[in-house]
Amino acid sequence: MSINVHHDSDTDCLTLHLGEHFDFSMHRDFHDACLGTGVKARSYVIDLGEVTRMDSSALGMLLLLREHAGADRAEIRIVNARDELRGTLRVAGFEKLFVLH
């Protein structure tokens, strides 16, 4: 599985460690990990530390997660993104929708 999911039950925080390619091939895993469960965590952490390539479907998935987590009330942090990914996220205006670390 190219996504590692870790749920901290104390803080109700769902952490997703994504694999090297965060793209369409991952959509089903992503869905199963956080969208399809029907359960909402209080907060989410998306760890992009290992990701080297990311396309628009990855951003689409993140937007769907945001909708799933309650849109403006969602608390989603994107961490460990390398500079070029950070640039992509910024061009897409994600720094207004997510917390970029």
Partner 1 sequence: MNAILSFFHTRHLVGLAASAAALLVSLLWHPAWLAPVLVIALAAVWIVDARRSAAAAEVVLPEAVDPTPVREALEDVRSALVDELGHATRELHQGLDLLRDAVQELGGGFDGLSQKTGLQQSLLKQIIDVQNGGVSVQDFAARTSDLLEHFVGMIVQMSRESLRIVYRIDGMAKEMDAVFGLLRNVNTIAEETNLLALNASIEAARAGESGRGFAVVAGEIRNLASNSNQFNEQIGSHVERARAAMEQLRGLVGTMASQDLNVALSAKGGIDAMMAHVTESDARTNAVADQVVEINRGLGSDVSTTIRSLQFEDILSQLLQQTRTRLVELQEVTADCTRDIEELACSRIDAEALETRAQRVRARLAVQREKARLRSRGPALQSSMDAGEIELF
Residues that bind partner 1 (CB under 8 A): 23-24, 27-28, 31, 35-36, 54-57, 59-61, 63-64, 84, 87-88, 91-93
Nearer to partner 1 among residue 13 and residue 97 (C-beta): 97
Q: Is 100 helix (H, G, I), strand (E, B) or coil?
A: strand
> In residues, how long is the chain?
101
> What does the block give as tokens for 93?
């205006």
State whether residue 73 is helix, strand or coil: helix
Question: Are 58 and 23 contacting, i.e. CB atoms less than 8 angstroms apart?
Answer: yes
Nearest distance in Å: CB 90, partner 1 = 8
- Shortest distance (Å) from residue 12 CB to partner 1: 24
Q: CB of residue 57 vs partner 1: minimum separation in angstroms?
A: 4
